[in-house]
Structure 1
Amino acid sequence: MTETQNKGAVKMEQHILLVDDEAGILDMLEIVLKKEGFSQIKKAQSGKEALQIIQDFKPQLIVLDIMLPDISGLELCMELRKETDASILFLTAKTSDYDKLVGFAMGGDDYITKPFNPLEVVARIKVQLRHQRIYSAKEQASILEFEDFSINKDSCEVKHNEKVIELTAMEYSLLLFFAEHPNRIFTIAQLYENVWGQLILGDEKTVVMHISKIRKKMEPDKDKPKYIHNIRGLGYKFIPHKKGEEQK
């Protein structure tokens, strides 16, 4: 049964480094991770060994014990941050909020206290790796394309049917915010806070006016909006009509 499970498991190529002075913990985590499909795993029982490994191994994620024989895991985290942007998940017996805050301040991304459930560690690892994939995809998606227009985030250029549209800085910022958060309803106050960067103080006309101007410049029929919809009593929602997608 175990052999069948292993054959059916999807191999994951992300590199994971496990750092702990207890060999038993390292072996246990390695076994669980391999059962979940992770095949690229290295182990270190000291800070020195960890620093040597990352020179060639280049991990995407590091599970790091704070209590190591040669150096504090917190100090090691700072050294690792000079070499890698890998997600760092601390394992420690220290449970106070202060210890956790120090761990985050030193460059950690998550924190699990001992004793722990190895399946929880694996779940946290998957969350961190998923966040990396999402962030990487967003970084790569410098051009957002829709049925009638596109947004080039590198040049801040908006084209409608291949013709450049002149937008003010705030109009562009508002349109980009909508485009990056499709199918979600935002109140006027939420739009103002996210795009203008401050709390709205009673005057909602600023947001409404900017939406109206965007519609005039971009919507095929400004009286029957295609992209930016007013949801009565709730706010506004951007509906992404993607190229080549059939809209329901």
Structure 2
Amino acid sequence: MNEQLVMIVDDEASIRDIVRRYLEADGYKVVEAADGQEALQRFGARAADVVILDVMMPDMDGVEVLRRIRAISDVYVIMLTAKAEELDRLVGLAVGADDYITKPFSPRELVARVKAVLRRPRSPATASSAGTLRVAGLEVDRDRHEVRVDGEPVELTALEFNLVSVLAGSPGVVFTRRQLLERIWGYDFFGDERVVDVHVRNLRRKLADDVARPRFITTVRRVGYKMGGGR
């Protein structure tokens, strides 16, 4: 019996019902929440392994729910979003969502994405994940899961830590977006490659890295990113 718990957060009972039935048929345990407040209460009572979270909900939207979850947990989160909600989707990814799927969606595809995120490592997929990496004033302590810039600690999400760890582990090496997706999100990632750009942008902001004169992360046009700037 699969002991992994999936929380479905959506104000539409019909969506919760069909997703629950497909997940339970695949052996997952399921808990439902009809709004953000109920989701936070249920999550606090028992942390889920994956949260399927709708963006558009009354009172508290999915992005705010995600912010509050991220303050206490690195649980995998898949956002449900309408195609017209591009900005909301990107904001959700920046806050720390792992994946997204647009409505209307195939329940089978959603179950496949749940399986995919659960196979995804929360630590960087590098040859050696131990020790401290140093690039300019950036320190990435893989043992303690800490990042410092000029000696000052920087708070990152798990995905952001994995991203900076992979880049700092090979200074000067250019990684394509697809390579970063495979190393960090996993080989079976379904979504848009632009998710990498969103997380790089958020990471740069936290590292106080100037895009015009990068100290740490450099954009290689039409290719991807590398660690090592021009200062």
TM-score, normalised by the number of residues in structure 1: 0.50
- Point out 4+ residue stretches in structure 1 off by more than 6 angstroms: 136-139
Equivalent residue pairs, number? 141
Q: What are the Cα deviations for residues 202-235 of structure 1, in whole angstroms up to 9, with x where unaligned? A: xxxxxxxxxxxxxxxxxxxxxxxxxxxxxxxxxx
Q: What are the Cα deviations for residues 99-148 of structure 1, in whole angstroms up to 9, with x where unaligned? A: 332120121111111111000100111000011xx446979xxxx9xxxx
Match of 1:57 among 46, 51, 67: 46
Amino acid at match of 2:172: Q
CA distance in 2, matches of 1:13, 1:80: 21
C-alpha change, 1:154 and 1:25, in structure 2 (3 Å) is: same
Which has more helix, going by share of residues? 1
Unaligned stretches of 5+ residues in structure 1: 1-10, 145-150, 156-192, 201-248
CA distance in 2, matches of 1:98, 1:50: 23
The structure that has the greater radius of gyration is 1
| 1:19 counterpart residue number | 9
Amino acid at match of 2:8: L
Aligned: 1:71 with 2:60: yes
CA distance in 1, matches of 2:122, 2:60: 32
Is the Cα contact below 8 Å between 2:81 and 2:103 reproduced in 1?
yes
Aligned: 1:80 with 2:69: yes
Aligned: 1:37 with 2:27: yes
TM-score, normalised by the number of residues in structure 2: 0.54
Amino acid at match of 1:80: I
Is the Cα contact below 8 Å between 2:55 and 2:88 reproduced in 1?
no
CA distance in 1, matches of 2:111, 2:94: 23
SS at match of 1:88: strand
Q: Map 1:1-248; keep pairs closer than 5 Å.
A: 11-38=1-28, 40-95=29-84, 97-131=86-120, 134-135=121-122, 153=130, 196-199=170-173
Is the Cα contact below 8 Å between 1:95 and 1:113 reproduced in 2?
no
CA distance in 1, matches of 2:41, 2:83: 27
C-alpha change, 1:12 and 1:95, in structure 2 (3 Å) is: farther
CA distance in 2, matches of 1:110, 1:100: 10
Identity rate of aligned residues, in percent? 38
